[in-house]
Amino acid sequence: MDATRRRAGHGRPALERWGRFVAAHARPVVIGWLVLIAAGFAVALGGLGTPSLFDRLDTGEIVVDGENQAGRAVLSEAGGSGFSTHTLLVEGVDTGDPAVARAAAAGVRDLLAVDTVTSAVNPFVVPDGPSSAAARPMFLHGDPGSGGFATVVTFDPDDTAEQEDAATAEVDAVLDRMVRETGASSSERGGLRGLVDRIVHQVKVDGQRGEGIALPVSFAVMVVVFGGFLAAGFPVLGAIASISGALASLLGFSYLLDLDATAVNVVTVLALGLCIDYGLLVVSRFREEMRTLLAGRPAADATAAEVTEATGRTLDRAGRTVVFSALTVAISLAGLLFLDIDFVRAVSLAGVSVVVVALAVALSLVPALCVLGARRLLRRGTEVASDTGLFSRLAEGVHRLPWVVIGVVSALLLVLAAPVSGMLLTASGAELLPKGTPERTFFEDLADGYPTLAGAQVVVVARAPQAEVRSWAADAAGRPGVSSIDPVRVLDGGVVTVPFHTGDSGTGEASRALVDSLRADRPPFDSWVVGQASGILDFRQAVAERAPWAVGAVVLATLVLLFLMTGSVVVPVKALVMNVLSLGASLGVTVWIFQEGHLESLLRFTSAGGLENTIPLLVVAFGFGLSMDYEVFLLSRIVELHEQGRSTHEAVVLGLQRSGRIITSAALLMVIVFAGFAAGDLLIMKQMGVALVLAIAIDATLVRMLLVPATMAVLGRANWWAPAPLRRLHARVGITE
């Protein structure tokens, strides 16, 4: 159904009517958004006296239901959790000096006097003295003559964060005195809670840095793209509105779900990128519609009626594209809800809410700003842009050699995707922070000098008689990956643990091999295998169980949406295939960089031997949505032209010419946004940023500019094929011009 008949039969389309409403109420719309922006930031950042978003963030650890989490719960109930410990490491001490022993023992007595401290120990207060076997693990490298020892303080695990903060301040004062009185030449201290606090802080720092890079650089690029500060400022103001909405929505979700710290950057970067993309599209289409109406007349001659007409047309056309794009991104993110992983579901829900905010900004705030600045947006001229240029020549060139382009580009994408076959997932702790960070250095030194205190890489937690567990443990040294086994430990409630050391960080091949062995050939009593490698295995199993449902739902919904847009079953299937190639290539290069350790110096990171376990999920979901975003940008133009009677060849050439600049500019801006966050220090955000930079760059160049026009040239009229029943269905319910 064409636009003329539709309007004659049913009045103006809904989006056009909405555009005219926005044009008539532009000033109140902008004022209302400014109030919402201020309120969003005030609420999210604690400006109204309420807890800020960053005060409510959960640990930097992502957990899933499974054996590892169940075993940890048993450990916690039995008093075996190490989360509430605070440890001091000192070096350069004469451990044989009686004055040192007195100072260390006095320190422990004072530590035990602090409210909420449940235990404090160092080698000078163990029952049999510092020369005993029980004291050795608390000396540096297990050697009393090494000149170093540890003091471990444990807080009541039921303390509130405020209680533990107050107690930590008192504990640190005692530890400071102990360092002075023992004559230590150096010292460091830390614990898991301090590590989590640092990760949360780093999320905030990286987010501010990323936004600090992305917003001004994006603005500068848009000044060049639009040829003026005003037009460039509209999408940036929209992006600021979207960030405000993203932070406010995350604060709301923090009361419903345990929200991981990294979710903040993941969601705000999506908000920033989408709003810039949509703002760019709306502002560009508004200027195009105004130029068409003015047909060369001076911008100052534009009437209010023409501005209203241009706004209505913009939202009827570009607005429809934005709606389709937002739906595709929301669908890809909603697919994550099928996975039974709290962090992933939180990102999914928050991401969908951010897409809604970005859509609202693009359909109201940005067009209202265009209305208020309409004449200034066109001060560089009102001539209609030529239908020939760089992108039309590119399309013509591709159409001359389509099979060559398809073969070369497809082969290149497959080569880039090859490293995915060897991808390993990991779950880093202190390794998320860059080398040299005090918290990371503390845990590295603890693992190197005090391996027993640092904890075993794999622990078997059992509810069984001690004798039976000890008998089993005596024969377990031959298990794959085992380097040593600590003595069996008895906890409260009849819980017994067997700590295994593997000599790696807990996520390496030795730990994984041991976990596989312990789960395949289980102890003859009730037990759980606990450790980072066990958690990774649970994560993989949780994804494998639900992934088919997630993929199936996203694929089906995307096919239906693109069918409603194009009336074809060929174009949607082709879009999905090309997205798989594009995402595979971006993940392959990400594996090559971060897992294999290439470009460490350039990107300022240290390889953890794999990708953080949520990265493939988030990259596929976000990358798929953003790839379909650009697919919709391009297809909407091609479909519009095809419905106007153009041949497939003409529609592709002209569609690429009219949308190519928007797609490449939007992609460049999105690359800038993600590159800003890739410049952060937190490893998981660096991996996410780099992976999405690759996904967008590969998709916007190799796929949209080359592969799409090449395949459409080869298929010709077959692009628009659909079975007769579906053609009749599309005639009734399809969303077209």
How do residues 553-572 score in pLDDT, each as one tens digit? 999 998 998 898 888 999 99
DSSP per residue, 558-574: HHHHHHHHHS-SHHHHH
Q: Report the pLDDT value the prediction gives residue 453, as an integer from 0 to 100.
A: 86
Q: Report the pLDDT value the prediction gives residue 311, as an integer from 0 to 100.
A: 94
CB 545 within 8 A of CB 715: no
Q: Minimum mean pLDDT among 507-511, 574-578, 671-675: which range?
A: 671-675
Q: Which of 355, 284, 225 is nearest to 626 (CA)?
A: 355
> CA-CA distance, 36 to 252, in Å (whole number)?
15
Q: Minimum mean pLDDT among 53-62, 211-220, 504-513, 711-720: which range?
A: 53-62
Average pLDDT over residues 436-450: 92
Average pLDDT over residues 400-429: 93
Please indicate whether residue 422 or residue 731 has the higher confidence score (pLDDT).
422
- How sure is the predictor about 75, in pLDDT bands with cuts at 50, 70 and 90? confident
Helix, strand, coil % over all residues of the chain, rounded to 5: 70, 5, 25
Locate the domains of the chain by residue range: 84-194
pLDDT in tens, 372-397: 988 888 876 555 566 788 888 999 99
Q: Report the pLDDT value the prediction gives residue 5, as an integer from 0 to 100.
A: 39
Block residue for tokens 């500060």: 229
- How sure is the predictor about 174, in pLDDT bands with cuts at 50, 70 and 90? very high
> Is it the case that residue 11 has pLDDT exceeding 80?
no
Q: Report the pLDDT value the prediction gives residue 25, as an integer from 0 to 100.
A: 95
- Give me 610's structure tokens: 């794999």
> CA-CA distance, 606 to 531, in Å (whole number)?
22
CB 434 within 8 A of CB 482: no
> Is it the case that residue 483 has pLDDT exceeding 50?
yes
Q: Which of 118, 212, 207 is nearest to 164 (CA)?
A: 118
> CA-CA distance, 166 to 625, in Å (whole number)?
45
> Is it the case that residue 7 has pLDDT exceeding 60?
no
Q: Report the pLDDT value the prediction gives residue 82, as an integer from 0 to 100.
A: 57
Block residue for tokens 């009361």: 255
> Is it the case that residue 735 has pLDDT exceeding 70?
no
Mean pLDDT, rounded, of the chain: 87
Q: Report the pLDDT value the prediction gives residue 1, as an integer from 0 to 100.
A: 39
Supply angle C-alpha 657, 712, 278, rounded to 5.
Answer: 45
DSSP 3-state of 674: helix
> Is it the case that residue 260 has pLDDT exceeding 90?
no
DSSP 3-state of 114: coil
> CA-CA distance, 308 to 19, in Å (whole number)?
8
Sign of CA dihedral 275, 280, 283, 286: negative
> CA-CA distance, 234 to 330, in Å (whole number)?
24
CA dihedral 393, 397, 398, 402 (to 10 degrees): 150
> Is it the case that residue 130 has pLDDT exceeding 70?
yes
Block residue for tokens 């990171």: 605
Distance of CA 451 to the CA centre of its chain: 33
> Is it the case that residue 348 has pLDDT exceeding 80?
yes
- Pairing, β 489-490 against β 484-485: unpaired
> Is it the case that residue 6 has pLDDT exceeding 50?
no
What is the model's pTM? 0.84
pLDDT in tens, 676-689: 878 888 898 899 88
- Euclidean distance between the first and the last CA atom of the chain, given in angstroms as a whole number: 7
> Is it the case that residue 133 has pLDDT exceeding 80?
yes
Alpha helices, H only, 45-120? 67-77, 98-112
> Is it the case that residue 44 has pLDDT exceeding 80?
yes
DSSP 3-state of 507: coil
Residue 610 to residues 84, 260, 414, 529, 615, Cα–Cα distance (Å): 29, 20, 21, 22, 10
- The b-or-e profile of 643-659 (16+ CB within 10 A means b, else e) is beebebeebbbbbbbbb
> Is it the case that residue 245 has pLDDT exceeding 50?
yes
- How sure is the predictor about 165, in pLDDT bands with cuts at 50, 70 and 90? confident
Average pLDDT over residues 249-253: 82
CA dihedral 639, 644, 648, 651 (to 10 degrees): -70
Q: Report the pLDDT value the prediction gives residue 230, as an integer from 0 to 100.
A: 77
> According to CATH, what is the number of the domain 84-194?
3.30.70.260
Contacts of 82 (CB under 8 A, 6+ apart): 192, 455
CB 333 within 8 A of CB 321: no
> Is it the case that residue 59 has pLDDT exceeding 80?
no
> CA-CA distance, 312 to 235, in Å (whole number)?
19
Helix H or strand E segment including 448: helix 438-449
- How sure is the predictor about 38, in pLDDT bands with cuts at 50, 70 and 90? very high
